[in-house]
Amino acid sequence: MRLSIHAISVMTVLMAAPAFAAVVGVNTAAQAITAERIATLPPEAQPVWRAYLDRSKAQMNADRAALAAEGTPGDIPAVKMRSDSEKTMPLDRAPDWYATPEARHIADVIISFQTPAGGWSKNQSRDGALRVPGQPWAGDNSSHFAAPGDFDTARDEHWHYVGTLDNDATITELQFLARIITALPGDDGLPYRTAFAKGAAYLFNAQFPNGGWPQVWPLEGGYHDAITFNDDALVHAAELMSDIASGAGDYAFVPQAIRQQAASARDRAIACILTTQVRVNGHRTVWGQQHDALTELPVAARNFEPDALSSAESASLLVYLMQLPDPSPEAVAAVHDGVKWLHEVALHDVAWTDGGDKAAGRKLIASPGAPDLWARYYVAATGKPVFGDRDKTLHDDVNEISVERRNGYAWFNTAPLKVFKAYAKWRLAHPEPVQ
Protein backbone atom coordinates (compact mmCIF):
# COMPACT_ATOMS: atom_id res chain seq x y z
CA MET A 1 0.00 0.00 0.00
CA ARG A 2 1.45 3.35 -1.05
CA LEU A 3 0.91 6.66 0.71
CA SER A 4 -0.23 9.79 -1.08
CA ILE A 5 -0.56 11.75 2.15
CA HIS A 6 0.85 10.46 5.43
CA ALA A 7 -2.12 10.67 7.77
CA ILE A 8 -1.04 8.82 10.87
CA SER A 9 -2.74 10.27 13.95
CA VAL A 10 0.47 11.11 15.77
CA MET A 11 1.79 12.92 12.75
CA THR A 12 -1.39 14.95 12.43
CA VAL A 13 -0.99 16.09 16.03
CA LEU A 14 2.61 17.02 15.39
CA MET A 15 1.76 19.08 12.31
CA ALA A 16 -0.66 21.17 14.33
CA ALA A 17 1.71 21.68 17.26
CA PRO A 18 3.50 24.99 17.86
CA ALA A 19 7.27 25.08 17.35
CA PHE A 20 9.36 23.77 20.24
CA ALA A 21 6.41 22.87 22.43
CA ALA A 22 7.23 20.72 25.47
CA VAL A 23 4.81 17.96 24.35
CA VAL A 24 3.51 17.71 20.79
CA GLY A 25 1.79 14.35 20.86
CA VAL A 26 1.38 10.97 22.51
CA ASN A 27 2.69 7.75 21.06
CA THR A 28 0.15 5.08 20.13
CA ALA A 29 0.72 1.33 20.30
CA ALA A 30 1.24 -0.84 17.23
CA GLN A 31 -1.47 -3.42 16.59
CA ALA A 32 -1.03 -7.16 16.49
CA ILE A 33 -1.96 -9.27 13.49
CA THR A 34 -5.40 -10.66 14.30
CA ALA A 35 -8.19 -12.47 12.49
CA GLU A 36 -10.40 -9.42 13.01
CA ARG A 37 -7.90 -7.13 11.30
CA ILE A 38 -7.34 -9.58 8.46
CA ALA A 39 -11.11 -9.57 7.87
CA THR A 40 -10.89 -5.86 6.97
CA LEU A 41 -8.49 -6.51 4.09
CA PRO A 42 -9.74 -6.82 0.49
CA PRO A 43 -11.33 -10.27 0.06
CA GLU A 44 -8.62 -11.47 -2.32
CA ALA A 45 -5.88 -10.67 0.22
CA GLN A 46 -7.45 -12.43 3.18
CA PRO A 47 -6.74 -16.15 2.49
CA VAL A 48 -2.92 -15.90 2.54
CA TRP A 49 -2.96 -13.83 5.71
CA ARG A 50 -5.39 -16.19 7.45
CA ALA A 51 -3.14 -19.10 6.49
CA TYR A 52 -0.12 -17.21 7.84
CA LEU A 53 -1.82 -16.45 11.16
CA ASP A 54 -3.03 -20.05 11.49
CA ARG A 55 0.51 -21.30 10.81
CA SER A 56 1.89 -19.02 13.50
CA LYS A 57 -0.67 -20.13 16.07
CA ALA A 58 -0.09 -23.80 15.28
CA GLN A 59 3.65 -23.37 15.63
CA MET A 60 3.30 -21.53 18.94
CA ASN A 61 1.16 -24.39 20.28
CA ALA A 62 3.71 -26.92 19.04
CA ASP A 63 6.60 -25.02 20.64
CA ARG A 64 4.85 -24.83 23.99
CA ALA A 65 3.86 -28.50 23.84
CA ALA A 66 7.45 -29.48 23.09
CA LEU A 67 8.75 -27.66 26.15
CA ALA A 68 6.01 -29.13 28.34
CA ALA A 69 6.81 -32.62 27.08
CA GLU A 70 10.40 -32.29 28.24
CA GLY A 71 9.22 -31.97 31.82
CA THR A 72 10.63 -29.68 34.48
CA PRO A 73 12.02 -31.80 37.34
CA GLY A 74 13.18 -28.64 39.07
CA ASP A 75 13.56 -24.98 38.48
CA ILE A 76 15.88 -24.88 35.48
CA PRO A 77 17.22 -21.36 35.08
CA ALA A 78 17.26 -19.70 31.70
CA VAL A 79 20.64 -18.91 30.23
CA LYS A 80 22.02 -15.60 31.47
CA MET A 81 21.54 -12.66 29.15
CA ARG A 82 24.47 -11.24 27.20
CA SER A 83 24.03 -8.17 25.03
CA ASP A 84 27.07 -8.95 22.87
CA SER A 85 26.17 -12.58 22.30
CA GLU A 86 27.24 -12.44 18.66
CA LYS A 87 30.85 -12.34 19.90
CA THR A 88 30.42 -15.91 21.09
CA MET A 89 29.74 -16.96 17.47
CA PRO A 90 32.75 -15.47 15.63
CA LEU A 91 32.38 -15.33 11.87
CA ASP A 92 35.85 -14.03 11.07
CA ARG A 93 38.09 -16.98 11.99
CA ALA A 94 40.29 -18.92 9.57
CA PRO A 95 38.36 -21.71 7.79
CA ASP A 96 40.25 -24.46 9.62
CA TRP A 97 39.15 -23.12 13.00
CA TYR A 98 35.55 -24.12 12.32
CA ALA A 99 36.55 -27.79 12.44
CA THR A 100 38.10 -27.46 15.92
CA PRO A 101 36.49 -28.81 19.11
CA GLU A 102 36.00 -25.24 20.32
CA ALA A 103 34.00 -24.27 17.25
CA ARG A 104 32.03 -27.50 17.24
CA HIS A 105 31.07 -26.95 20.87
CA ILE A 106 29.60 -23.56 19.97
CA ALA A 107 27.69 -25.18 17.13
CA ASP A 108 26.39 -27.89 19.47
CA VAL A 109 25.17 -25.21 21.89
CA ILE A 110 23.47 -23.46 18.98
CA ILE A 111 21.67 -26.65 18.00
CA SER A 112 20.63 -27.33 21.58
CA PHE A 113 18.93 -23.91 21.82
CA GLN A 114 17.19 -24.11 18.45
CA THR A 115 13.46 -23.84 19.04
CA PRO A 116 11.05 -26.43 17.63
CA ALA A 117 10.05 -23.76 15.08
CA GLY A 118 13.68 -23.62 13.93
CA GLY A 119 14.74 -20.17 15.14
CA TRP A 120 16.65 -18.85 18.12
CA SER A 121 16.11 -16.32 20.88
CA LYS A 122 18.47 -13.38 21.44
CA ASN A 123 21.17 -12.15 23.82
CA GLN A 124 22.41 -15.62 24.75
CA SER A 125 26.00 -16.83 24.93
CA ARG A 126 26.65 -19.73 22.61
CA ASP A 127 29.96 -20.83 24.11
CA GLY A 128 28.61 -22.02 27.46
CA ALA A 129 26.72 -25.13 28.49
CA LEU A 130 24.36 -27.07 26.27
CA ARG A 131 20.67 -26.53 26.89
CA VAL A 132 19.16 -29.20 29.13
CA PRO A 133 15.64 -30.64 28.75
CA GLY A 134 13.05 -28.34 30.30
CA GLN A 135 15.27 -25.27 30.14
CA PRO A 136 13.64 -22.24 28.47
CA TRP A 137 14.86 -21.43 24.97
CA ALA A 138 14.86 -17.72 25.85
CA GLY A 139 16.26 -15.74 28.76
CA ASP A 140 14.63 -12.84 30.57
CA ASN A 141 13.98 -10.39 27.75
CA SER A 142 11.49 -8.32 29.74
CA SER A 143 11.98 -4.56 29.96
CA HIS A 144 13.12 -3.41 33.38
CA PHE A 145 11.33 -0.10 32.82
CA ALA A 146 7.94 -1.51 31.85
CA ALA A 147 4.92 -0.22 33.77
CA PRO A 148 1.25 -1.17 33.26
CA GLY A 149 0.28 -0.29 29.72
CA ASP A 150 3.88 -0.15 28.53
CA PHE A 151 4.27 -1.05 24.85
CA ASP A 152 7.17 -3.34 25.79
CA THR A 153 5.27 -5.44 28.33
CA ALA A 154 5.49 -9.10 27.36
CA ARG A 155 2.21 -10.87 26.75
CA ASP A 156 3.82 -13.83 28.51
CA GLU A 157 7.08 -13.03 30.31
CA HIS A 158 8.02 -16.70 30.27
CA TRP A 159 7.58 -16.90 26.49
CA HIS A 160 9.17 -13.74 25.14
CA TYR A 161 11.32 -13.58 21.97
CA VAL A 162 11.13 -17.35 21.53
CA GLY A 163 12.36 -17.13 17.97
CA THR A 164 13.46 -13.69 16.74
CA LEU A 165 15.50 -11.70 14.22
CA ASP A 166 16.15 -8.99 16.80
CA ASN A 167 19.77 -8.20 17.66
CA ASP A 168 20.96 -10.39 14.75
CA ALA A 169 19.54 -13.51 16.37
CA THR A 170 18.81 -16.51 14.12
CA ILE A 171 20.77 -14.90 11.26
CA THR A 172 24.07 -15.14 13.17
CA GLU A 173 23.38 -18.73 14.27
CA LEU A 174 22.76 -19.76 10.66
CA GLN A 175 25.87 -17.97 9.42
CA PHE A 176 27.97 -19.74 12.04
CA LEU A 177 26.47 -23.13 11.22
CA ALA A 178 27.25 -22.57 7.54
CA ARG A 179 30.93 -22.14 8.38
CA ILE A 180 30.91 -25.29 10.51
CA ILE A 181 29.24 -27.27 7.73
CA THR A 182 31.78 -26.06 5.18
CA ALA A 183 34.59 -27.23 7.47
CA LEU A 184 32.88 -30.61 8.07
CA PRO A 185 31.63 -31.85 4.68
CA GLY A 186 31.26 -35.50 5.70
CA ASP A 187 29.06 -37.36 8.18
CA ASP A 188 30.37 -35.22 11.04
CA GLY A 189 28.54 -32.26 9.53
CA LEU A 190 25.14 -33.97 9.27
CA PRO A 191 23.65 -32.60 12.56
CA TYR A 192 24.66 -29.10 11.56
CA ARG A 193 23.23 -29.45 8.05
CA THR A 194 19.97 -30.64 9.56
CA ALA A 195 19.84 -27.67 11.96
CA PHE A 196 20.66 -25.26 9.14
CA ALA A 197 17.83 -26.59 6.95
CA LYS A 198 15.45 -26.27 9.90
CA GLY A 199 16.62 -22.69 10.47
CA ALA A 200 16.15 -21.78 6.82
CA ALA A 201 12.65 -23.25 6.96
CA TYR A 202 12.01 -21.04 10.01
CA LEU A 203 12.78 -17.95 7.96
CA PHE A 204 10.61 -19.14 5.07
CA ASN A 205 7.70 -19.81 7.44
CA ALA A 206 8.11 -16.53 9.30
CA GLN A 207 8.15 -14.34 6.18
CA PHE A 208 4.96 -12.38 5.67
CA PRO A 209 2.87 -12.82 2.51
CA ASN A 210 4.03 -9.33 1.47
CA GLY A 211 7.72 -10.23 1.84
CA GLY A 212 8.52 -8.64 5.19
CA TRP A 213 9.61 -10.36 8.37
CA PRO A 214 8.29 -9.82 11.91
CA GLN A 215 10.62 -9.24 14.81
CA VAL A 216 9.38 -12.37 16.59
CA TRP A 217 7.91 -15.60 15.19
CA PRO A 218 5.70 -17.35 16.07
CA LEU A 219 3.90 -14.04 16.49
CA GLU A 220 3.59 -12.68 20.01
CA GLY A 221 1.64 -9.47 19.40
CA GLY A 222 2.24 -5.74 19.59
CA TYR A 223 5.03 -4.15 17.60
CA HIS A 224 6.78 -7.53 17.43
CA ASP A 225 4.26 -8.40 14.66
CA ALA A 226 5.38 -5.50 12.46
CA ILE A 227 7.59 -5.60 9.37
CA THR A 228 10.90 -5.02 11.13
CA PHE A 229 13.54 -2.82 9.57
CA ASN A 230 14.81 -1.99 13.07
CA ASP A 231 18.45 -2.95 13.64
CA ASP A 232 18.52 -4.00 9.97
CA ALA A 233 16.60 -7.22 10.69
CA LEU A 234 14.97 -7.43 7.26
CA VAL A 235 18.13 -6.38 5.43
CA HIS A 236 20.18 -9.07 7.17
CA ALA A 237 17.54 -11.70 6.43
CA ALA A 238 17.42 -10.67 2.77
CA GLU A 239 21.23 -10.74 2.55
CA LEU A 240 21.29 -14.25 4.02
CA MET A 241 18.66 -15.32 1.50
CA SER A 242 20.92 -14.04 -1.29
CA ASP A 243 23.88 -15.94 0.14
CA ILE A 244 21.88 -19.15 0.38
CA ALA A 245 20.44 -18.70 -3.11
CA SER A 246 23.91 -18.24 -4.58
CA GLY A 247 25.06 -21.68 -3.47
CA ALA A 248 28.57 -20.22 -3.29
CA GLY A 249 31.27 -20.17 -0.63
CA ASP A 250 30.00 -21.30 2.78
CA TYR A 251 26.60 -22.07 1.20
CA ALA A 252 27.76 -24.50 -1.48
CA PHE A 253 26.28 -27.35 0.58
CA VAL A 254 22.72 -25.99 0.40
CA PRO A 255 20.37 -28.22 -1.66
CA GLN A 256 18.89 -26.72 -4.81
CA ALA A 257 15.35 -26.74 -3.44
CA ILE A 258 16.35 -24.56 -0.50
CA ARG A 259 18.33 -22.26 -2.79
CA GLN A 260 15.23 -21.71 -4.90
CA GLN A 261 13.13 -20.94 -1.82
CA ALA A 262 15.77 -18.49 -0.66
CA ALA A 263 15.84 -16.72 -4.01
CA SER A 264 12.07 -16.32 -3.90
CA ALA A 265 12.22 -15.05 -0.31
CA ARG A 266 14.87 -12.49 -1.27
CA ASP A 267 12.84 -11.23 -4.24
CA ARG A 268 9.76 -10.86 -2.07
CA ALA A 269 11.76 -8.98 0.55
CA ILE A 270 12.97 -6.53 -2.09
CA ALA A 271 9.39 -6.03 -3.27
CA CYS A 272 8.37 -5.32 0.34
CA ILE A 273 11.11 -2.71 0.70
CA LEU A 274 9.95 -0.91 -2.43
CA THR A 275 6.26 -1.08 -1.52
CA THR A 276 6.73 0.28 1.99
CA GLN A 277 8.84 3.30 1.04
CA VAL A 278 6.69 6.13 2.37
CA ARG A 279 5.30 8.62 -0.11
CA VAL A 280 4.21 12.10 0.89
CA ASN A 281 2.23 14.09 -1.66
CA GLY A 282 3.26 11.56 -4.27
CA HIS A 283 6.98 11.83 -3.55
CA ARG A 284 9.10 8.99 -2.17
CA THR A 285 10.82 9.62 1.15
CA VAL A 286 12.34 6.76 3.19
CA TRP A 287 11.11 4.14 5.68
CA GLY A 288 9.99 3.78 9.26
CA GLN A 289 11.72 1.66 11.86
CA GLN A 290 8.91 -0.83 11.53
CA HIS A 291 5.74 -0.95 9.44
CA ASP A 292 2.39 -2.53 10.21
CA ALA A 293 2.28 -5.83 8.34
CA LEU A 294 -1.27 -5.30 7.05
CA THR A 295 -1.43 -1.56 6.33
CA GLU A 296 2.31 -1.29 5.54
CA LEU A 297 2.40 2.10 7.31
CA PRO A 298 5.04 3.01 9.91
CA VAL A 299 4.07 2.11 13.47
CA ALA A 300 5.48 2.75 16.92
CA ALA A 301 7.60 0.25 18.84
CA ARG A 302 8.61 0.98 22.42
CA ASN A 303 7.04 3.89 24.30
CA PHE A 304 9.66 6.33 23.06
CA GLU A 305 9.89 5.04 19.47
CA PRO A 306 7.25 6.79 17.32
CA ASP A 307 5.57 5.89 14.05
CA ALA A 308 7.99 8.12 12.17
CA LEU A 309 10.60 7.89 9.42
CA SER A 310 13.93 6.49 10.59
CA SER A 311 17.21 7.76 9.16
CA ALA A 312 19.50 4.95 10.33
CA GLU A 313 17.35 2.04 9.17
CA SER A 314 16.60 3.86 5.91
CA ALA A 315 20.31 4.33 5.31
CA SER A 316 20.85 0.57 5.51
CA LEU A 317 17.92 -0.08 3.19
CA LEU A 318 19.30 2.33 0.60
CA VAL A 319 22.77 0.77 0.77
CA TYR A 320 21.18 -2.65 0.34
CA LEU A 321 19.25 -1.52 -2.74
CA MET A 322 22.46 -0.08 -4.20
CA GLN A 323 24.13 -3.48 -3.81
CA LEU A 324 21.57 -5.24 -6.00
CA PRO A 325 23.36 -6.51 -9.14
CA ASP A 326 20.51 -5.68 -11.52
CA PRO A 327 18.14 -3.22 -9.84
CA SER A 328 14.69 -2.65 -11.28
CA PRO A 329 13.62 0.84 -12.40
CA GLU A 330 11.57 1.00 -9.18
CA ALA A 331 14.63 0.23 -7.07
CA VAL A 332 16.68 2.84 -8.92
CA ALA A 333 14.02 5.49 -8.37
CA ALA A 334 13.73 4.48 -4.70
CA VAL A 335 17.44 5.09 -4.17
CA HIS A 336 17.54 8.45 -5.92
CA ASP A 337 14.55 9.76 -4.01
CA GLY A 338 15.69 8.33 -0.67
CA VAL A 339 19.13 9.89 -0.99
CA LYS A 340 17.57 13.22 -1.91
CA TRP A 341 15.38 13.08 1.21
CA LEU A 342 18.36 12.34 3.47
CA HIS A 343 20.16 15.37 2.06
CA GLU A 344 17.14 17.55 2.72
CA VAL A 345 16.73 16.60 6.40
CA ALA A 346 20.39 16.81 7.50
CA LEU A 347 20.97 18.92 10.61
CA HIS A 348 23.69 21.51 10.21
CA ASP A 349 25.84 23.38 12.75
CA VAL A 350 24.67 21.44 15.81
CA ALA A 351 26.30 18.97 18.19
CA TRP A 352 24.87 16.26 20.45
CA THR A 353 26.93 16.32 23.65
CA ASP A 354 26.82 16.20 27.43
CA GLY A 355 29.45 18.91 27.63
CA GLY A 356 31.31 16.88 30.23
CA ASP A 357 28.31 16.81 32.58
CA LYS A 358 26.66 13.39 32.29
CA ALA A 359 24.31 14.10 35.17
CA ALA A 360 22.78 16.98 33.24
CA GLY A 361 22.36 14.75 30.21
CA ARG A 362 23.24 15.12 26.57
CA LYS A 363 21.79 18.07 24.72
CA LEU A 364 21.61 19.35 21.19
CA ILE A 365 23.48 22.63 21.07
CA ALA A 366 24.48 25.15 18.42
CA SER A 367 27.94 24.36 17.08
CA PRO A 368 28.87 26.30 13.92
CA GLY A 369 30.91 24.17 11.54
CA ALA A 370 30.09 20.86 13.25
CA PRO A 371 29.68 17.79 11.00
CA ASP A 372 26.16 17.12 9.81
CA LEU A 373 23.88 14.98 11.98
CA TRP A 374 20.60 13.20 11.34
CA ALA A 375 17.86 12.67 13.90
CA ARG A 376 16.80 9.07 14.45
CA TYR A 377 13.16 9.95 13.69
CA TYR A 378 11.41 12.44 11.44
CA VAL A 379 7.76 13.35 11.00
CA ALA A 380 6.94 12.13 7.51
CA ALA A 381 4.61 14.98 6.59
CA THR A 382 6.98 17.77 7.64
CA GLY A 383 10.49 16.30 7.59
CA LYS A 384 11.03 17.62 11.14
CA PRO A 385 12.72 15.61 13.92
CA VAL A 386 10.60 14.06 16.66
CA PHE A 387 11.67 12.52 19.99
CA GLY A 388 9.88 10.25 22.47
CA ASP A 389 10.05 9.57 26.18
CA ARG A 390 9.21 6.58 28.35
CA ASP A 391 5.87 8.13 29.31
CA LYS A 392 4.84 7.98 25.59
CA THR A 393 5.01 11.74 25.16
CA LEU A 394 6.43 13.03 21.88
CA HIS A 395 8.54 16.17 21.60
CA ASP A 396 9.97 18.27 18.80
CA ASP A 397 12.88 19.38 21.01
CA VAL A 398 15.17 16.60 22.23
CA ASN A 399 16.30 18.80 25.11
CA GLU A 400 12.77 18.52 26.55
CA ILE A 401 12.85 14.76 27.15
CA SER A 402 14.10 13.07 30.31
CA VAL A 403 17.80 12.82 31.12
CA GLU A 404 17.49 9.04 31.24
CA ARG A 405 16.26 8.88 27.63
CA ARG A 406 18.63 11.56 26.38
CA ASN A 407 21.57 9.58 27.74
CA GLY A 408 20.18 6.13 26.97
CA TYR A 409 19.16 6.23 23.32
CA ALA A 410 20.76 7.01 19.96
CA TRP A 411 18.71 10.06 18.98
CA PHE A 412 21.22 11.20 16.38
CA ASN A 413 23.48 9.41 13.92
CA THR A 414 25.67 9.81 10.85
CA ALA A 415 24.48 6.67 9.03
CA PRO A 416 23.49 8.61 5.87
CA LEU A 417 27.16 9.32 5.24
CA LYS A 418 27.67 5.70 4.17
CA VAL A 419 24.76 6.16 1.78
CA PHE A 420 26.29 9.24 0.17
CA LYS A 421 29.64 7.48 -0.22
CA ALA A 422 28.07 4.49 -1.98
CA TYR A 423 25.74 6.71 -4.01
CA ALA A 424 28.58 8.75 -5.52
CA LYS A 425 29.73 5.64 -7.42
CA TRP A 426 26.35 3.94 -7.87
CA ARG A 427 24.71 6.91 -9.59
CA LEU A 428 27.30 6.75 -12.41
CA ALA A 429 25.90 3.36 -13.44
CA HIS A 430 22.30 4.29 -12.58
CA PRO A 431 21.71 7.94 -13.48
CA GLU A 432 18.56 9.60 -12.24
CA PRO A 433 15.76 9.37 -14.81
CA VAL A 434 14.83 12.60 -16.53
CA GLN A 435 11.49 13.79 -15.19
* Residues carrying an active site annotation: 167, 302
For residue 280, the surrounding DSSP H or E stretch is strand 279-280
Beta bridge partners of 81: 124
Burial 52-69 (b: 16+ CB within 10 A, else e): bbeebeebbeebeeebee
In angstroms, the Cα distances linking 176 to 164, 317, 382 are 16, 24, 43
Q: Please give the distance of CA 96 from its chain centroid, rounded to a whole number.
A: 32
Residues with Cβ within 8 Å of residue 271, at least 6 apart in sequence: 210, 211
The CA distances from residue 145 to 35, 150, 162, in Å, are 31, 9, 21
Number of H helices, E strands in the chain: 12, 13
Pair type for strands 309-310 and 290-291: unpaired
Q: What does the chain come to in residues?
A: 435
3-state secondary structure of 227: strand
CA-angle at 236, arms to 128 and 200, nearest 5°: 70
Contact at 8 Å (CB) between 287 and 279? no
Report residue 36: phi and psi, to 5°.
-65, -40
How far from the centroid of its chain's Cα atoms is residue 169's Cα?
A: 10
329-344 vs 416-429: helix crossing angle, rounded to 10: 140
167: left (phi > 0), else alpha (psi -120 to 50), else beta?
Answer: left
